[in-house]
């Protein structure tokens, strides 16, 4: 089930060039299971027609404060009741100023004043308008009044200039909205984690690696970020984009991964070792391509990053991963105890390696906790919930 399934969202579309992005946002929200109701200002209708939004949302579009379709002529009241959030995208300088000063001169600004639900605003304007002192004051006051401001980003603008003020892309806004509704189970926590494979060079064109896709690690990084954590993801080579709001550090070899983890650890509350780190590397990498006739490979062990972090005197809460092809319980629990980990996630490689789904068992001091097969995004959320529970239990013990 999608994180937005069944959520009622009112989307306010105002008069900015970025209104074209709102159409894609409506499509993405609908695909995620949300019930979207578009409120289109007079300015917004100059860029995208009501027909477009009605076709994409499957609901009537609203624009008139005195709309006769509402029996009591109070669309500004009825639209907000039972609504999970109002999202304004694009949020022009004009509408932001009106929201801050309580001006209610059309349906959108009036219903925002009468709302009983959260308000999210995605600013979109020329860079000079964004940098103007009046806009800076208004944005600060809007946030102080309880609204959530998402963006803007820097980039090319319709005016031909480049700078801050560009509205976030629809997929980014969708991620912000999903994260907004997630319980902040890891708020205030710093999580350092590894993901993906490592690549140990033999020569300029060959190396030792594995088939890890990185999907589970990236899904977990996203879940931790949605739960409110600051996340540093040390990633081996993958083709995956960094999750929104996650700091990604790209590495190739196990030695590079260890160095990056050590550099990121100060202040970390949690370390999660998801990466499939190669157990061995060539003793030395050849400068030139090795010919078959002279091929001779001497291997040396790679560092055990998870074990090193767990053995530190100031070790954060450590979570390990074990991917096995058989005897999962024995190998996973053995790994957890050998490395003295408070939590370990185990799975059979045939259940999740490279796929979008996974089936895992969570191991801790209380025993084993099997999880149903599910998309890795859902599995990651369950892992975060279990992790947060263990962190809370540890905090309670330490407070005694």
Catalytic residue list = 159
Between the alpha carbon of residue 220 and those of residues 217, 234, 395, the distances in Å are 5, 13, 22
Q: Are 238 and 217 in contact (CB under 8 A)?
A: no
Please tell me whether 203 is known to bind a ligand.
no
Contact criterion met (CB below 8 Å) for 104 and 110: yes
Q: Is 304 annotated as a binding residue?
A: yes
Q: State the Cα–Cα distance between residues 357 and 361, nearest whole angstrom.
A: 14
Give the count of alpha carbons within 13 A of 94, CB side only: 13
Secondary structure (3-state) at 390: helix
Closest C-alpha among 207, 87, 210 to residue 149: 87
The DSSP bridge pattern shows strands 374-375 and 35-40 to be unpaired
**Three-class SS of residue 205?**
coil
Per-residue exposure over 188-222, b if at least 16 CB sit within 10 Å of its own CB, e if not:
ebbbbbbbbbbbbbbeeebbbbbebbbbbbbbbbb
Q: Is the dihedral of CA 25, 83, 16, 56 positive or negative?
A: positive
383 in a labelled binding site: no
- Are 249 and 232 spatial neighbours (Cβ–Cβ below 8 Å)? yes
CA distance 59 to 11: 12
DSSP β-ladder status, 119-123 and 85-91: parallel
Q: Which of 274, 368, 372, 284 is nearest to 330 (CA)?
A: 368
Q: Do the annotations mark residue 53 as ligand-binding?
A: no
Is 317 marked as binding a ligand?
Answer: no
3-state DSSP assignment of residue 26 = helix
- Residue 186 has φ and ψ, to the nearest 5°, of -115, 25
For residue 84, say whether it is annotated as part of any ligand binding site.
no
Backbone angles phi, psi at 225, to 5 degrees: -65, -40
Beta bridge partner(s), residue 85? 9
**Residue 335, marked binder:** yes
Q: Encoding tokens for residue 44?
A: 């917004």
Residues making up the binding site for CTP: 279, 289, 303-306, 321, 335, 339
Residues making up the binding site: 279, 289, 303-306, 321, 335, 339
């Amino acid at each position: 089930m999608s994180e937005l399934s069944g959520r009622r969202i009112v989307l306010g579309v105002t008069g900015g060039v970025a209104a074209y992005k709102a159409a894609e946002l409506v499509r993405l929200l609908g695909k995620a299971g949300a019930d979207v109701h578009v409120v289109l200002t007079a300015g917004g209708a100059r860029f995208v027609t009501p027909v477009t939004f009605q076709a994409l949302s499957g609901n009537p579009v609203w624009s008139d404060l005195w709309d006769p379709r509402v029996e009591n002529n109070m669309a500004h009241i009825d639209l907000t009741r039972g609504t999970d959030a109002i999202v304004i995208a694009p949020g022009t300088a004009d509408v932001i100023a009106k929201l801050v000063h309580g001006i209610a001169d059309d349906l959108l600004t009036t219903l925002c004043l009468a709302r009983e639900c959260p308000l999210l605003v995605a600013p979109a304007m020329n860079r000079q308008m964004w940098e103007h002192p009046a806009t800076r004051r208004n944005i600060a006051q809007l946030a102080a009044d309880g609204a959530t401001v998402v963006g803007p980003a820097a980039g090319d603008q319709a005016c031909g200039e480049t700078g801050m003020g560009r509205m976030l892309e629809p997929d980014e806004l969708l991620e912000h909205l999903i994260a907004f509704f997630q319980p902040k189970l890891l708020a205030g926590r710093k999580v350092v984690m590894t993901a993906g494979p490592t690549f140990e060079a033999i020569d300029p064109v060959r190396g030792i690696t594995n088939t890890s896709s990185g999907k589970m690690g990236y899904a977990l990084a996203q879940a931790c970020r949605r739960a409110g954590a600051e996340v540093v993801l040390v990633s081996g080579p993958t083709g995956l984009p960094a999750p929104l709001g996650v700091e990604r550090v790209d590495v190739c070899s196990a030695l590079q991964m260890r160095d990056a983890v050590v550099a990121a650890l100060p202040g970390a509350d949690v370390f999660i070792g998801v990466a499939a780190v190669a157990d061995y590397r060539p003793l030395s990498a050849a400068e030139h391509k090795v010919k078959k006739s002279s091929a001779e490979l001497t291997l040396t062990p790679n560092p055990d990053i998870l074990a090193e972090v767990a053995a530190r005197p100031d070790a954060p809460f450590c979570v390990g991963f074990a991917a096995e092809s058989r005897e999962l319980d024995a190998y996973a629990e053995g790994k957890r105890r050998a490395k003295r980990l408070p939590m370990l996630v185990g799975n059979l490689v045939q259940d999740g390696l490279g796929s979008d789904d996974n089936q895992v068992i969570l191991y801790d001091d209380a025993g084993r906790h099997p999880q149903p097969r599910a998309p890795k995004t859902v599995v990651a959320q369950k892992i975060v919930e279990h992790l947060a529970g263990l962190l809370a239990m540890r905090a309670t013990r330490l407070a005694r």
